[in-house]
A and B are shown apart, each in its own frame.
Chain A
Amino acid sequence: MTTTTMDIAHDNDHHDDHGPQKGWRRWVYSNNHKDIGSMYLIFSLVMLILGGASAMAIRAELMYPGLQLLEPDLYNNIVTNHALVMVFGAVMPAAAGLANWMIPLMIGAPDMALPRMNNLSFWLLPAAAIMLVLSFIVPFFPGGGSQINTGWTLYPPLSLQVGMAMDFLIFTVHLLGVSSVLASINIIVTIFNMRAPSMTLWNMPIFVWTWLVTAFLLILILPVLAGGVTMLLFDRHLGTSFFDAAGGGDPVLFQHLFWFFGHPEVYVLLLPSIGVLSHIIPAFSYKPLFGRKSMIGAMILLASIGMVVWAHHQYTIGMSSAAVSYFMIGTILISIPVGLMKFNFIATMWRASMTFEAPMLFAISIVAMFVFGGLTGVMLAIVPADLQYQDTMFVVAHFHYVLMPGAVMALFAGVLYWLPKWTGNMYNEKLANWFFWTSLIGFNGTFFVQHFLGLAGMPRRIVDYPVQFTEFNFISSVAALIYGLSHILFLYLVIQTIRGKGTTKAKSRSWKGAKGLEWEVASPAPFHTWDSAPTVDAEGEIKQK
């Protein structure tokens, strides 16, 4: 078996058997999972800065009532862009970058199963990013048409009336979809076929499990979104009437297609982060993860229920009360598997002699903040309450409370946790603590007050507001500036660790309590790892002879 694994590596990679190619060829032609993983992560960081800049623009405009900086159309354009850049440009590629780097290391595989397809799925992303930026700036050129003012949901009829910028955006969604689907197929094939022969599905690391479920979700939902936006494109240019009421179409159909994708998409963003936490929390609690099998069960349950509750985003479209009740009960049921995961995390920390390195600080705060975001989610799931809360800043506060800790911060934690493995250097712990505390204060200051704004009736996606909302908006904007600037610390931290100046060298097991195959290889991880598959025991550790 060992020799067969070697043979695959030779079949696929014989031209860089002796290390990476030189210069730009190393990156453009790369089919090495570590290099592609790094490119994903760097791409994600660039997109995070772009999306963060648009968030700063939004908060700057909302700092005071009235129109100061942005025209209403430009404001809505930026809101649309912010969401798409963050979801598709920052979070999903970052999670894919972690998957590329860690999955082969964790399951004892020499590389991803389909390395050339891996290269394609990454290099589609910069193309998509250029299209996305074009969709933002094309209205500023003569004949460029109107700006995209629909928000990321792209609802018709508004999206049928926007100028050519919408076509750029539709093709962006297509490219991003193809990229993610290819990456997902690659990940599933890798997990099924490339595991070390002694590693069963049950003793596979939880991060790999979360990505297996995520990849299946992506395969099921992204083609539906692609179909939906293709119909938009047909309606816009080919005279069809899928959504155009003038020809007998129904705009609400698009909402169903969009949210059939859009709701499971939030679990796509969440699950890899749950996987990251499932490694960090046991490592710094020096205990195995509590309820490992229930964790796997919970994530499968979460994904399955998550596929069939999409219409809770559309309570106000006029569904029958039977349909609304079904979607309400289904949505509330989701809190059971999610709650179970959180209880497992808490039980892992229970009576543990924990240490509080930056990844652990993030992990603990994420569990607390995510539970809070989940509770406002239950509030929003309740139909009569939702009719009051929907389309207000309360919703904005809710989904930032689940996505920021649940996706973005967990990815930061994961990067800090595995950075020693990638670079061979320990990051500067003091700086990481500064980053943690400033971003924690900045994040909560930005979004906590938005709950009050929403409950008091401030609508979302509107450029201006009545003067009674001034104070909370001012607090939110100042905190947002702190939050935004805190990321400079992160950027500095990462560059410093990569350059290795003023840092200490990392051991191969960089954290005392860290478990798993990735800590068996040297730090930094060599260009080729696990050329021969390791033999693991029931805990997924290397079998001691």
Chain B
Amino acid sequence: MAASDNKKTAKKLFVLVAGMFVFAFAMVPLYNLVCEVTGLKGSDNRAGLPINQDIDTTRKILVEFDGIVNSNLPWEFEPSTRQLEVHPGEVANVNYFVTNLADKAVTGQAIPSVIPWFGSQYFKKIACFCFDKQKLEAHESADMPLRFYVSTEIPKDISTLRLSYTFMNLEKTGS
């Protein structure tokens, strides 16, 4: 009697173990969902031209630009301007200068992030090189454009936004 009881209890516990293993993978979509709902994820913030947004000339937001290359991407990557003051609602342009140092064509993609994190959702991109994969031929250089505005809804306590790009290598290099 008791021996089969043992197996029954053990089976229930094994189901619990399997459930928790599945839960770990369920965390992936769950996490992305939470990040999207709360606007925490450094999402690409695609936006059209500002509609119904007057330029708020009473405020100025300092936008800082930063460009990093992931260690396994043989590129140079730098913004043309380090910082820019804009009024909320005002459309501005910045170029990033990119050079491929390798002897072959390499494809990469830039991943953005905005600091402070809760300011991320107010940084609107109309056009950005980070929306697409970028392919550079051997030793090719390019100017990559970014066109953006800062939403007029940006809270009063945010006066600086720092936009940081990390250019990632999309070719599978292995470690």
**Do A and B bind?**
yes
Q: Which residues of B contact A225 (CB under 8 A)?
A: 24
Let me know if B23 is at the binding interface, CB within 8 A.
Answer: yes
Kindly identify, within residues 151 to 176 of chain A, every residue whose CB is under 8 Å from any CB belonging to chain B. Answer: 160-163
Let me know if A250 is at the binding interface, CB within 8 A.
Answer: yes
Q: Which residues of A contact B166 (CB under 8 A)?
A: 245
> In the bound complex, how far is the Cα of B3 from the Cα of A5, in angstroms?
9
Contact B31 A250 (CB under 8 A): yes
Q: Assess A163 versus B6: contact at CB under 8 Å? Given A223-B17, A242-B28, A245-B166.
A: no
B-contact bits for A301-322, CB 8 A (1 contact / 0 none)? 0000000000000000011100
Let me know if B172 is at the binding interface, CB within 8 A.
Answer: yes
Contact A192 B175 (CB under 8 A): no
Kindly identify, within residues 217 to 233 of chain A, every residue whose CB is under 8 Å from any CB belonging to chain B. Answer: 219-228, 230-231
Let me know if A347 is at the binding interface, CB within 8 A.
Answer: no
Which of A66-74, A181-189, A478-486, A493-501 is found at the contact surface with chain B? A181-189
Q: Which residues of B contact A162 (CB under 8 A)?
A: 175
Contact A223 B175 (CB under 8 A): no
Contact A220 B20 (CB under 8 A): yes
B5 to chain A, nearest CB (A): 5
Let me know if A364 is at the binding interface, CB within 8 A.
Answer: no
Q: Which residues of B contact A239 (CB under 8 A)?
A: 172
Contact B23 A224 (CB under 8 A): yes
Let me know if B106 is at the binding interface, CB within 8 A.
Answer: no
> In the bound complex, how far is the Cα of B111 from the Cα of A256, in angstroms?
21
Let me know if B151 is at the binding interface, CB within 8 A.
Answer: no
Let me know if B122 is at the binding interface, CB within 8 A.
Answer: no
Contact A320 B20 (CB under 8 A): no
Contact B21 A226 (CB under 8 A): yes
Interface size class of A (residues with CB under 8 A): 35 or more
> In the bound complex, how far is the Cα of B31 from the Cα of A250, in angstroms?
10
> In the bound complex, how far is the Cα of B70 from the Cα of A161, in angstroms?
11
Q: Which residues of A contact B168 (CB under 8 A)?
A: 245-247
> In the bound complex, how far is the Cα of B41 from the Cα of A44, in angstroms?
43
Q: Which residues of A contact B18 (CB under 8 A)?
A: 223
- Identity of the chain A residue whose Cβ is nearest the Cβ of B172 in the assembled complex: A239
Q: Which residues of B contact A319 (CB under 8 A)?
A: 40
Kindly identify, within residues 37 to 70 of chain B, every residue whose CB is under 8 Å from any CB belonging to chain A. Answer: 38, 40-41, 70
Contact B9 A253 (CB under 8 A): no
Q: Which residues of B contact A230 (CB under 8 A)?
A: 24
> In the bound complex, how far is the Cα of B16 from the Cα of A185, in angstroms?
10
A-contact bits for B114-133, CB 8 A (1 contact / 0 none)? 01111000000000000000
Q: By the criterion of a CB under 8 Å from any partner CB, how many residues of chain B are at the interface?
A: 42
- Identity of the chain B residue whose Cβ is nearest the Cβ of A228 in the assembled complex: B24
Contact B13 A219 (CB under 8 A): yes
Let me know if A8 is at the binding interface, CB within 8 A.
Answer: yes
Q: Assess A246 versus B109: contact at CB under 8 Å? Given A163-B175, A236-B175.
A: yes
A414 to chain B, nearest CB (A): 26
Contact A219 B20 (CB under 8 A): yes
Contact B40 A318 (CB under 8 A): yes
Grouping DSSP codes into helix (H, G, I), strand (E, B) and loop, the B interface class, with mixed when no group exceeds half, is helix
B-contact bits for A490-516, CB 8 A (1 contact / 0 none)? 000000000000000000000000000
Q: Which residues of A contact B138 (CB under 8 A)?
A: none
Let me know if B100 is at the binding interface, CB within 8 A.
Answer: no
Q: Which residues of A contact B116 (CB under 8 A)?
A: 318
Contact B24 A224 (CB under 8 A): yes
- Identity of the chain B residue whose Cβ is nearest the Cβ of A157 in the assembled complex: B70
Contact A188 B6 (CB under 8 A): no
> In the bound complex, how far is the Cα of B14 from the Cα of A4, in angstroms?
26
Contact A189 B109 (CB under 8 A): no
> In the bound complex, how far is the Cα of B34 from the Cα of A319, in angstroms?
11
Q: Assess A223 versus B20: contact at CB under 8 Å? Given A193-B2, A246-B168, A256-B31.
A: yes
Contact A189 B10 (CB under 8 A): yes
> In the bound complex, how far is the Cα of B24 from the Cα of A319, in angstroms?
20
Q: Assess A185 versus B3: contact at CB under 8 Å? Given A219-B17, A227-B21, A320-B38.
A: no
Kindly identify, within residues 181 to 225 of chain A, every residue whose CB is under 8 Å from any CB belonging to chain B. Answer: 181, 184-186, 188-189, 192-194, 219-225
- Of B5, B6, B118, chain A has the most CB atoms within 10 Å of the CB of B6
Q: Which residues of B contact A189 (CB under 8 A)?
A: 6, 9-10, 13
Contact B2 A8 (CB under 8 A): yes
> In the bound complex, how far is the Cα of B175 from the Cα of A163, in angstroms?
6
Contact B175 A145 (CB under 8 A): yes
B27 to chain A, nearest CB (A): 6
List 29 contacting pairs A-B, 8 Å CB cutoff, sorted by A: A4-B2, A8-B2, A114-B6, A161-B71, A185-B10, A185-B13, A185-B17, A189-B9, A192-B9, A193-B5, A194-B6, A220-B20, A223-B24, A224-B23, A225-B24, A226-B21, A227-B24, A227-B25, A227-B27, A246-B169, A247-B168, A250-B31, A250-B41, A256-B27, A256-B31, A257-B24, A318-B40, A318-B115, A323-B38
Beyond A227-B24, A247-B168, A257-B27, 5 additional pairs, beta carbon < 8 A: A8-B3, A117-B10, A161-B72, A189-B10, A226-B24
